Structure 1
Amino acid sequence: MVQRGLLLVNSKILQVRNQILYLTFFDATSIYDQTAIVLPVGNKRMQLVNAIVLLSVFISSLSSPVIASESVWHRETESYSGILNITVYRSPSCSCCGGWMEHLKRHGFQVKDIKAIDMEAIKQKYNLPKELTSCHTALIDGYVIEGHVPADDIKRLLKEKPQLTGLSVPQMPVGTPGMEVGNKKEPFAVISFKKNGEFKVFKEYRSY
């Protein structure tokens, strides 16, 4: 598989056989990966020009998928060296929760994963407003973290230590950590909330 869109045209490789022109090029990192562009034989000069154009288009088309595979959530924007032990309650059948926990681990959190059958009871226990609920509920340093909250926002919360109950990303917006689907990214907000029911925007993500 071509890595990072870097190709090296490694050989001749123009062959005319059985009225077909083959242009073969190889991956810069592996001679075992190869791709062939097949063109009908005609004017050889035009064939070569067409082949070069197609090769350029092919190389350009490789750049987008490679960039898309690098998750924006891998980057760290908050430095934090305090408590990183977090307990996550989730449904046994929830796969996106696993993706979010992997995101936390990548940022240095030590995750205790607890599979709970009655998630509704857990949310009620920690006084989560219904409009702020999501799939999983986590606890860290006295704060409640609900849903797919980015790791850097949790770090900021732990550094600033505001008088809050916790943070939430309501529902499950596509594009949030653990909810990545290709290049699709929905705008979302991280909401801070208090025991008295007051809540406000902690951080908003429109383009990320």
Structure 2
Amino acid sequence: MTNPPLNPDDPNGQQPPSPYDQYAGAQDPYSQNPYPQDPYQQGPYQQNPYGAAGPAGGRPRPSVTFQQAIELFFKNYAVFNGRASRSEYWWVALFTFLVNAVLNGLARSIGDSGSMALTVVSSLWSLAILVPSLAICWRRLHDTGRPGGWFFIVLIPIVGWIILIVFLAGPSRQDAWQRFDNGTLPVES
């Protein structure tokens, strides 16, 4: 048994033309990408913000090891533009905490005779890391999609520090590069 033709009036069995045939070759406007380019392919100024060796801008900051984080901390001494990854920030926080703990522990164990010298060393250390600590905190806030000025929330007693820690521990925002990767950017290696 054979199927009857689709159009009994047409001897070839072809379907009559549809009023929608005019759209047959047209592209569906809803299937097009609304963004003309992938934002992770190039930086906002058509340049590679992380140096010639790496891929174009807009990509997340790389996860780093403890040693790499310390090196980047001092290489990007006063760079407040750009972003810092979560690992980059928290390895540095651990490093500065450990150095402060060792200096304070030594000052207590030595007693009065050597504690003055260690107090001076500890004070010099704190002054030496003040600017890079602020810079990496600023860049970490940028990576979470917030302006660096959110750092000043620490001026609110107790609650401000808690809010800042939550912000700093937050995930990276994929679109943060569009707002914060301008000016002198931090180096990656």
TM-score range, shorter-chain basis?
under 0.3
Larger Rg: 2
Whose strand proportion is higher, 1 or 2? 1
More helix by share: 2
| TM-score (structure 2 length as normaliser) | 0.27
